[in-house]
Amino acid sequence: MKFLLVEDNIDLANAIASRMRLDGHVIDHAEKLEDASAFVATGDYDLILLDINLPDGDGRSFLEHHRTTDLDTPVIILTARSQVSDRIGSLDLGADDYVTKPFDHAELEARCRAVLRRKSGNAKTTIEVGGVVFNPVAGHLTVGGEAVTMRNRELRLLELFLNAPGQIFSKNKLADRLFSYDEDVSDNAIEVYIGRLRKHLSASDLRITTLRGLGYRLDHDG
Partner 1 sequence: MTDSVAVSGSLRNRLMLTLIGGAAILALLVFFAVRNYAVQLAQEGQDNILAASATSMLDAATFRDGVVELDLPYSAFSMLSTAADDQVFYAIRQDGAFLSGYADLPFSESQMFQTDQVRGSDVRKISVSRTLIGANSRTEIQVVLAQTQDALSETLDRISRNAALLGIGFFALAAALSFWATAATIGQLGNLTTSVTRRGPQDLSPFAKPVPREMAPLVTSLNSLMGRLDQSLSQSEDFIAEAAHRVRTPLATVRSYAEATLQRVDKEENREAMRSMVKAIDESSRAAGQLLDHAMITFRADHLELEDIDFVDLVHDLVQRMTPIAEMKDLTLTLKGDARAPFSGDPVLVQNAVRNLIDNAMKYGPRESSIEIEVTAKDRPQVTVSDQGPGFPTDEIEILTARFQRGANATDTIGSGLGLTIARDVAAAHGGEVVLKNQTGGGACVTLSL
List interacting residues with partner 1 (CB under 8 A): 9, 11-12, 15-16, 18-19, 21-22, 80-81, 84, 101-107, 109-111, 113-114, 151-153, 170, 172-173, 176-177, 180-184, 189
Nearer to partner 1, 23 or 219 (CB): 23
Query: How far apart are CB 182 and partner 1 at their closest, in Å?
Result: 4
Query: How far apart are CB 83 and partner 1 at their closest, in Å?
Result: 9
Query: How far apart are CB 68 and partner 1 at their closest, in Å?
Result: 27
The answer to whether 169 and 211 are in contact (CB under 8 A) is no
Query: How far apart are CB 37 and partner 1 at their closest, in Å?
Result: 26
Looking only at the bridges linking them, the beta strands covering 146-148 and 47-51 are: unpaired
CB atoms within 10 A of CB 202: 11
DSSP codes, 1-55: -EEEEE-S-HHHHHHHHHHHHHTT-EEEEESSHHHHHHHHHH---SEEEEESEET
Query: How far apart are CB 63 and partner 1 at their closest, in Å?
Result: 19
Nearer to partner 1, 40 or 150 (CB): 150
- d(C-alpha 29, C-alpha 179), whole Å: 27
Nearer to partner 1, 127 or 185 (CB): 185
Nearer to partner 1, 61 or 180 (CB): 180
Query: How far apart are CB 170 and partner 1 at their closest, in Å?
Result: 8
Given strand 206-211, what is the order of strands in its sheet? 168-169, 215-220, 206-211
Decide: helix, strand or coil at residue 139: coil
Nearer to partner 1, 114 or 133 (CB): 114
Nearer to partner 1, 173 or 207 (CB): 173
DSSP codes, 143-203: ETTEEE---HHHHHHHHHHHHSTT-EE-HHHHHHHHS-TTS---HHHHHHHHHHHHHHTTT
